[in-house]
Amino acid sequence: MLSLQQLPCTQLGLCTNGQFKKGVPFVVRAEQVSTAPSTTLQDKVGRRQMLATGVTIAPWLLLSRQKSTAFAAENVKGFLPVTDKTDGYSFLYPFGWQEVAVEGQDKVFKDVIEPLENVSVNVFPTNKEDIRDLGSPQEVAEALIKKVLSAPTQKTKLLTAAEHEVDGKAYYTFEFVAQAPNFTRHALSTIAIGNGKFYTLTTGANERRWGKMKDKLSMVVDSFKIFKV
């Protein structure tokens, strides 16, 4: 089993000179997608304490994972489906979010008014066949959060991490917060390997709206699945 520091970033397309790229835009930053006045981000949420002190398995991660391969294509009230037949993945996103083009992202959908409420998907080539080849859920999550999913200036905290299977395919799903000087983003990510590709989906919201958005964002993460192409 590889350690986190030995994770093969060259194979995943995430590094330069053998080191992880800082700032690969897995997470859609507020400044990339905001169409609302900047004051919408300047709240006092960043002053709140982090919500957890350690890594635990969140109840929503332990809910039924027996989803059919057509889950993301089903009609779920309040959500719209996305299916990428070229890269081989599908997921749901909340009705009302708009698709935007962001450099470095495969797909991005976001809320017009709340720019931190968004979902982004990235796909990179790899010669690995299973996400478990990279380490445990906690190890891989910590590495991605610190090296890829947050800005260098943000303070991060992994809250939960777990593994589950869908149709025999292993996925890692984790929850974390990234604290910037003027806001805190509460996020969920799911990652998997298939088709010779490393897939990541990350969604989140401003901490002040987490209580309202967490069920929707959990639906987005749970709906993500990859299929053979």
Per-residue burial over 201-228, b = 16 or more CB atoms within 10 Å of its CB, e = otherwise: bbbbbbbbbbeebbebbbbbbbbbbbbe
Is 4 within a domain? no
Q: How many domains does the chain have?
A: 1
pLDDT tops 90 at residue 49:
no
Is 159 within a domain? yes
- The answer to which of 52-66, 91-105, 136-150, 186-200 has the lowest mean pLDDT is 52-66
Predicted pLDDT at 209: 97
Q: Is the backbone of residue 135 left (phi > 0), alpha (psi -120 to 50) or beta?
A: left
Predicted pLDDT at 60: 45
Is 7 within a domain? no
Q: Residue 129 carries which DSSP code?
A: S
Residue 220, strand partner residues: none
**What pTM was computed for the model?**
0.74
Predicted pLDDT at 14: 52
Residues 6+ apart with CB under 8 A from 226: 88, 89, 169, 192, 194, 195, 197, 199
pLDDT band at 9 (very low <50, low <70, confident <90, very high): low
Quick check: 104 and 96 in contact, CB under 8 A?
no
Is 179 within a domain? yes
Is 80 within a domain? yes
Is 43 within a domain? yes
- Dihedral of alpha carbons 118, 119, 125, 128, sign: positive
* CA-closest candidate to residue 198, choices 65, 17, 14: 14
DSSP 3-state assignment of 67?
coil
The overall average pLDDT reported for the chain is 78
The whole-angstrom separation of Cα 26 and Cα 149 is 6
Is 100 within a domain? yes
Q: What's 154's domain CATH number?
A: 3.40.1000.10
The whole-angstrom separation of Cα 187 and Cα 158 is 10
Quick check: 126 and 23 in contact, CB under 8 A?
no
Structural domain span for residue 148: 26-226
CA distances from 162 to 33, 78, 172 (A): 29, 27, 6
pLDDT tops 90 at residue 55:
no
